[in-house]
Homo-oligomer: A and B are copies of this chain.
């Protein structure tokens, strides 16, 4: 280990993979530690993922929920940022491997997050994109806005209905947020903007395979969320498993079919390939099975945190895949490294549950604080403040706040842009049902 006498001339090297909530918190916690930190990410920005659905529904711009990693740590002199993509981890030599380099480490924190998953049906992705990256969000925004444009342009009544039907697959927090936000876009924001279609006739359908939406919340709040969604114009279908997605819609297990030009996938995530890199065991969602100190078996200089890890904490609590949990694990890993440098033993990780929030729309949300739950306007106000508070950087905070104030009073959305590859655009509209005629 680097703190042995023969390595005293050189500071321990801490490599952090991923600048999400977990990785960034770890880097910041190490700011006064006598280590050199390398923060490696494939993107040049930290993304505030909980608000990504707002980009997908034209409420916010990408730059409002993303900050350059270099700016965030610019004053922290013991951190170097590297924009690169991990392809492997060499455990025998303690090196991270990318396409073009090897980055040696004494301590490694793996915080590479998760991606949406199609459970063996990757061919669905083309028709039902998921929502994990900025480019996902701008692609979904393009599809939603283009559907309204094409509905306005078509002469065919059947095609128009098809274009004005939006399906969200998956009734977790992301699916609920997406469905509510598409409903508000259709029923409020754009309703005066078209001359031939009535956008308030749009159908927004939220499909959940399980028996209720927001399964991680108490049942009472699931019922409340369903009611709040209905008020916004969202039809919730539970017990409905998707068996197929194509350019014309989705097929369900009961043999029925929903014709829709725009499908959003929010039904599942799979962890990044960290288990493969580490040759470690993982659960069904690809998350590395770690011990109570967040180490994969046999590697007490490696930590796996956030959505990449399957963690049951010291008290037997299964840690959820949410931002506050990732931040707690990032802080834990950093403190554990500092303890090791001081030859102290670290306590096992203990998750503190500060509550669980999901927004549904303007003035609607649910909040679960263990002992008690809230729904409706009060939950929504709590959600707003929690999210603005955690947005990184004062500047983003102020601008997002201003945007929301304007949006709240005007129902307007500032980022209604159809952008992106024009070839892709024409490709996606080349199907018989998506052509403009």
Stretch from A65-73, A173-181, A270-278 forming part of the interface with B: A65-73
Partner pick for A61 among B62, B194, B435, CB 8 A cutoff: B62
Contact A193 B68 (CB under 8 A): yes
Q: List, in ascending order, chain B residues with CB within 8 A of A149's CB.
A: 44, 83
Cβ of A308 under 8 Å from chain B: no
Q: Annotate A391-425 by CB proximity to B: 1 below 8 A, 0 otherwise.
A: 00001101100110010001010111111111000
Cβ of A7 under 8 Å from chain B: no
Please, how many angstroms separate the alpha-carbon atoms of A241 and B399 in the complex?
44
Cβ of A45 under 8 Å from chain B: yes
Contact B82 A153 (CB under 8 A): yes
Number of copies of this chain that the complex holds: 2
| Given contacts A64-B61, A153-B83, A43 and B418 within 8 Å (CB-CB) | yes
| Given contacts A44-B417, A421-B135, A153 and B84 within 8 Å (CB-CB) | yes
Q: List, in ascending order, chain B residues with CB within 8 A of A70's CB.
A: 190, 193-194
In A33-88, the 8 Å CB interface with B consists of 43-45, 61-64, 66, 68, 70-71, 74-75, 80-84
Q: List, in ascending order, chain B residues with CB within 8 A of A417's CB.
A: 44-45, 62-63, 66, 68, 134
Q: Annotate A82-99 by CB proximity to B: 1 below 8 A, 0 otherwise.
A: 111000000000000001
Cβ of A437 under 8 Å from chain B: yes
Number of A interface residues at 8 Å Cβ cutoff, please give it.
Answer: 55
Partner pick for A436 among B44, B100, B420, CB 8 A cutoff: B100
Please, how many angstroms separate the alpha-carbon atoms of A99 and B75 in the complex?
54
Cβ of A108 under 8 Å from chain B: no
Cβ of A343 under 8 Å from chain B: no
Which of chain B's residues has its CB closest to A149's CB? B83
Interface hub of A62, A63, A135 (most chain B Cβ within 10 A): A63
In A175-206, the 8 Å CB interface with B consists of 190, 192-196
Please, how many angstroms separate the alpha-carbon atoms of A74 and B71 in the complex?
40
Interface hub of A61, A101, A420 (most chain B Cβ within 10 A): A61
Cβ of A114 under 8 Å from chain B: no
Contact B418 A44 (CB under 8 A): yes
Interface hub of A62, A417, A422, A435 (most chain B Cβ within 10 A): A417
User: A436 → chain B, closest Cβ, in Å?
Assistant: 5
Interface hub of A70, A74, A99 (most chain B Cβ within 10 A): A70
User: A56 → chain B, closest Cβ, in Å?
Assistant: 13
Cβ of A221 under 8 Å from chain B: no
Cβ of A145 under 8 Å from chain B: yes
User: A143 → chain B, closest Cβ, in Å?
Assistant: 13
Please, how many angstroms separate the alpha-carbon atoms of A398 and B401 in the complex?
13
Contact A192 B61 (CB under 8 A): no
Which of chain B's residues has its CB closest to A410's CB? B395
| Given contacts A62-B61, A83-B149, A402-B398, A416 and B68 within 8 Å (CB-CB) | yes
Interchain Cβ contacts under 8 Å between A and B, 30 examples: A44-B145, A44-B149, A61-B62, A61-B415, A62-B417, A62-B419, A63-B415, A68-B417, A70-B193, A70-B194, A71-B193, A75-B192, A80-B196, A81-B193, A82-B153, A84-B153, A100-B437, A101-B153, A101-B436, A134-B419, A135-B420, A135-B422, A138-B419, A395-B414, A396-B414, A399-B399, A399-B402, A399-B403, A399-B414, A421-B421
9 cross-chain pairs, A with B, having the tightest CB-CB distances, nearest first: A70-B193, A100-B437, A63-B415, A61-B61, A68-B416, A61-B63, A83-B149, A80-B195, A100-B436
A45-B417, A63-B415 provided; 15 other pairs, C-beta below 8 A?
A: A44-B417, A44-B418, A61-B63, A61-B415, A62-B417, A63-B417, A80-B195, A100-B436, A101-B437, A134-B417, A135-B420, A135-B422, A398-B402, A399-B402, A421-B421
